[in-house]
Amino acid sequence: MVRATVPTAADAPPRGRRRKFWRGQHSQALRLAVRRPDFRRLYGTRLTSQCADGVFQASLAGVVLFSPESAADPAEIAAAFAVLLLPYSLIGPFAGVLLDRWRRQRVLVWSNLLRCLLVGLVAIEIASRVEGLLFYATALLVTSVNRFFLAAQSAAQPHVVEPDQLVTGNALSTTSGSVAAAVGAGIALMLRQVVGDGDSGYALIALASAVGYGSSAFLARRFGPDQLGPDDVQRSRRETVADVARGLVAGARHVTERREVASALAAIGAHRFFYGISTISILLLYRNYFTDAGLFQTRLAGLGQVFAATAIGTIIAAAITPAAVRRIGKHAWVTGLFVLASLTQLVFGLPYKIQTILPAALLLGIVAQGSKISVDTLVQEQVEDDFRGRVFSFYDTLFNVTFVAAAVFAAFLLPASGKSYAMLAVVSAGYALTAIAYGLAARRRHRPVPALPARAATELGDPA
């Protein structure tokens, strides 16, 4: 009978050297990834684009949430997020089919150029005090193109790193992208000191984001047309509605056949829901409840501090996630992060003090980025390239839908001040239940199969 060998303690590095071993593995993977010119180019494409996102989103936040004319109660914030995020969520999976048909290099170039045009229109609308449906529709187009761009980035990532470098590559790219967005928000706050916080000032800030989008388009243009995939696709055939529908069904079947991917997407969707409730609460707290306390500021400047703390958390997540995943595995790491989120809500959220929000934002930044890096890598590893665009577009749609659902839920649960002990209990318990459910699902998938008795194995044709 052929017996599987079981690793022993002798096979692992000595306890005193184990930490250096894992750190060395991570550092080597990072060096190998960064040495590749195509990875650096895709990395630069993401950084410039997401920095521009931070500038543009800060201008929208100033107009929608912190202008003197905005009431900003929970229902209005929920409606704003629904208008900006939900429509694309309905067409996102269809866009994913196109990502598996269109050259992703061209998607990156043209989506950036289109955003340059659209942010110009938004700037004109802000300066002209255009409100209501027209303003939100134009902002929605910018957001929709942005989500399409990020889905294309994630689908293209395996084309610029080796499979054993995906965790490290994702940690660097997605985390640096989040930091770049926070830097963009900081740039917007500095620009506000120069141009003012009136309509004309916010219009100029929105227009400034076109510089980042144009730079991203220039970098993406340097890739070869077929360098970023998709692979083995007849791109010349025209797509009909029926073709797209069949592609969606095939993509859904592809995910359901990979239960590890399906459960990871479900877990990250639950996280996004509870994270969304916390986000709406913080927006309301900084607008309607907190007061300035020394270095801790409120309103848009205070939210800038929250974004900075979150960015620091994402950097920490990028530094520790690859080593943690190699040491304990993706599933145990994600489960532990959700437990950390549950405790963070109680320890730092319960006092409802402005001084405790920043450490909470830092820890939740670690949770959000660490779990996303792990799930991104799992999807990239287990989903075939011809389906990757559809799956990542669905992944992105899941992010939007669960966040909007959280905003609607918060509109009924939260008062205008943002302070609600019932909300804290719901979010903390939700994170804990998500950790338990995902941990149990991972354990069932990896439960060892008991060995057959020698006689049974012989009867099944296994030579003794």
Residue 38 Cα distances to 72, 124, 159, 162, 322, angstroms: 44, 37, 9, 12, 21
Per DSSP, the three-state class of 316 is helix
Report which secondary-structure segment, H or E, holds 93: helix 74-99
Predicted local distance difference test score (pLDDT) of residue 462: 37
Q: Are 148 and 95 in contact (CB under 8 A)?
A: yes
Complete domains list, the chain, with CATH: 38-227+253-448 (1.20.1250.20)
Q: Are 178 and 316 in contact (CB under 8 A)?
A: no
Residue 225 Cα distances to 28, 32, 104, 229, 290, angstroms: 30, 24, 8, 8, 51
**In sequence order, what are the beta bridge partners of 293?**
296
Residue 413 Cα distances to 47, 48, 280, angstroms: 36, 38, 11
Tokens standing for residue 49: 């684009």
The half-sphere exposure of 464 on its side-chain side, counting CA atoms within 13 A, is 8
pLDDT in tens, the chain (464 residues): 333 333 343 444 454 454 454 455 556 767 877 888 899 999 999 999 999 999 998 888 778 776 655 555 677 777 777 766 676 666 666 676 777 778 899 999 999 999 999 999 999 999 988 877 788 888 888 888 887 898 888 888 888 888 777 777 877 887 788 789 889 988 998 898 888 877 888 899 999 999 999 999 999 999 998 889 887 654 545 455 566 667 667 777 777 778 888 888 899 999 999 999 998 899 889 888 888 888 888 887 788 889 889 889 988 998 898 889 888 888 899 999 999 999 999 999 889 999 999 999 999 999 998 998 888 888 888 887 777 777 777 777 787 788 888 888 887 788 888 899 988 999 999 999 999 999 888 777 655 434 434 443 333 333 33
Predicted local distance difference test score (pLDDT) of residue 461: 37
Predicted local distance difference test score (pLDDT) of residue 221: 94
Q: Are 395 and 96 in contact (CB under 8 A)?
A: no
CA 190-372-24 angle, to 5 degrees, is 95
Q: What is the pTM of this model?
A: 0.70
Q: Count CB neighbours of 198 within 10 A.
A: 14
Predicted local distance difference test score (pLDDT) of residue 284: 87
Q: Are 244 and 94 in contact (CB under 8 A)?
A: yes
